[in-house]
Structure 1
Amino acid sequence: MYPNTRLRRTRQADWSRRLVRENALSVNDLIWSVVVSDTADPVEPVAAMPGVERLSLAALAKAAKEAQALGIPAMAIFPHIDPAKKDDAGSEALNADGLVPNAIRTIKDAAPDLGVICDVALDPFTTHGHDGILQGDRIANDETVERLIEQALVQADAGCDVVAPSDMMDGRIGAIREALEGEGHHDTMILSYAAKYASGFYGPYREAIGSAAALKGDKQTYQMDPSNRDECLREVELDIAEGADMVMVKPGLPYLDIVRALSDTFPVPVYAFQVSGEYAMIEAAAANGWIDGDRVMMESLLAFKRAGAAGVITYFARRAAMKLAG
């Protein structure tokens, strides 16, 4: 009881605060989310995400070298492709000489020690903006999984280290794992977007990859209901059983309880995706002088670690790594 117990005692100096600190953020916790584009311009600013640009392959190579120099372990790449290459089936996702395979090879040539994570989903490649094959007004699960298998193999053949299915189709992890094993990609990891919610925080990303205007309807029939917690435990359990090496929670900050629940329950690395809407809110508030942007950036990333995340996919990775380096 007070005054024998004074919890403020350990808060009086920097050295004592560091000694009793329960969680710490390091560069090893950061995955840099980048958007790569097949346009001729070296970089194209994304209006809804100040500070984020669509990168040409040449600009991607430069960013990869910087990431490796900063000690960032991996990049997660997301494509913005020419609308003329899109169709209802997302066929460009299967092009072995397409933007994503060339982006993988570009990173591996520029920064051989940098891990490459690739999104496995059809929404950047479809005219309708959905993550799968649209039949009428419904996303066809099994037909979509067949496409995702081919997409994952194209990425693995190009040298991708981690394929990351974000589509939320049933059974796709097991199907992709079986295909990877069958083609000799025994070391290719699967990071499953196992707990991906039908969220309103994705808007700026859809602008960044060029799917916002095309999206017909919403994604609530395959992404999870934000009201549900226990359902994500079932999703993750199934994905681990099917061969996922790691699992993802998306979005991040509004779903820290989900990060904690998964990290407490399953013996696999749990990652969080600090999505575009989270990034945009912090940047907008900082631009208006309402918050200290860098301080809130670092505080938000630390929150993921406190919740139990093994790491964070974030558009802030480069800035955060520079601050951590001093």
Structure 2
Amino acid sequence: MLIRPRRNRKNAAIRDMVQETHLSVDHLIYPFFLVDGKGIQQEITSLPRNYRWSLDLLLREMESSLELGLNKFVLFPAVQDHLKDPIASYSYAEDNFYLEAIRTLKERFPQAVLMSDVAMDPYSSDGHDGLVRNGKIVNDDTLPILGKMAIAQAQAGIDILGPSDMMDGRVGYLRRVLDEQHFTEVSIMAYTA
């Protein structure tokens, strides 16, 4: 497999983020939790001063953050139960509000670095990060679903994928499917980075 460290140099914001260690605003990533709807800013009880945002209000919050010098954001979807199924099919559906939010945010704020969450649990009726069969997670059959999710997010304009699913072999699998679909500049970042 071809190694492509150039994706870490594709723009100034990413170069600033991965340069030698020092703490600055360049290293901060603001987490946003998205919900479908309008006029929603709902505090997350388990994360005080963090909110679930509808896109209309998130646009204003992101604009304010950019004015303060924060330009990196990780986006987490909060999906309504009726959209969940055992194979997380809504994660790559064309009408997915999360994918629409990525498209809108990237169009409105091209200077922002957008990171996504790649995992089945927000979309799965089982609540797990992988396919469940006979009470067990099925690792290898989960990878193609994660691949579809990654491609959908890349098509929407995501800069960096953050796989949080814990499936064995997922990073290599995602890199391969992204490269096969010519998304060679989309990065993959571990949450431990």
User: Which residue is 2:36 aligned to?
Assistant: 38
User: Which residue is 2:55 aligned to?
Assistant: 57
Match of 1:165 among 163, 166, 177: 163
The TM-score normalised by the length of structure 2 is 0.84
Name structure 2 gaps, 5 residues minimum. 1-20
Question: What secondary structure does 1:53 align onto?
Answer: strand
The TM-score normalised by the length of structure 1 is 0.51
Whose helix proportion is higher, 1 or 2? 1
Point out the structure with max Rg over C-alpha: 1
**2:89 corresponds to 1:117:** no
Q: Is the 8 A contact 1:37 1:55 kept in 2?
A: yes
Equivalent-residue separation in structure 1 for 2:38 and 2:69 (angstroms): 29
Equivalent-residue separation in structure 2 for 1:110 and 1:68 (angstroms): 12
User: Which residue is 1:214 aligned to?
Assistant: none
Alignment of 1:293-308 (within 5 A): none
Q: Is the 8 A contact 1:36 1:80 kept in 2?
A: yes
Equivalent-residue separation in structure 1 for 2:60 and 2:69 (angstroms): 15
Name structure 1 gaps, 5 residues minimum. 1-22, 193-247, 250-270, 272-326
Question: What secondary structure does 1:62 align onto?
Answer: helix
User: Which residue is 2:177 aligned to?
Assistant: 179
Question: What secondary structure does 1:51 align onto?
Answer: strand
Alignment of 1:270-289 (within 5 A): 271=193
User: Which residue is 1:90 aligned to?
Assistant: 88
Q: In the TM superposition, what whole-angstrom CA distance separates every residue of 1:2-49 from its partner, at most 9, and x where no partner exists? A: xxxxxxxxxxxxxxxxxxxxx853101100011000134421121222
Q: In the TM superposition, what whole-angstrom CA distance separates every residue of 1:252-305 from its partner, at most 9, and x where no partner exists? A: xxxxxxxxxxxxxxxxxxx2xxxxxxxxxxxxxxxxxxxxxxxxxxxxxxxxxx
Equivalent-residue separation in structure 1 for 2:91 and 2:22 (angstroms): 38
Question: What secondary structure does 1:52 align onto?
Answer: strand
Deviates more, 1:117-126 or 1:93-102: 93-102
Deviation at 1:136, TM superposition (A): 1.6
Q: Is the 8 A contact 1:90 1:125 kept in 2?
A: yes
Q: Is the 8 A contact 1:60 1:106 kept in 2?
A: no
Q: Aligned partner of 2:162: which letter?
A: A
Q: In the TM superposition, what whole-angstrom CA distance separates every residue of 1:229-251 from its partner, at most 9, and x where no partner exists? A: xxxxxxxxxxxxxxxxxxx32xx
Deviation at 1:99, TM superposition (A): 1.9
Identity among equivalent pairs (%)? 33
Q: Aligned partner of 1:110: which letter?
A: R
Q: Aligned partner of 2:158: which letter?
A: C
Query: How many residues get paired?
Result: 173
Alignment of 1:64-143 (within 5 A): 64-143=62-141
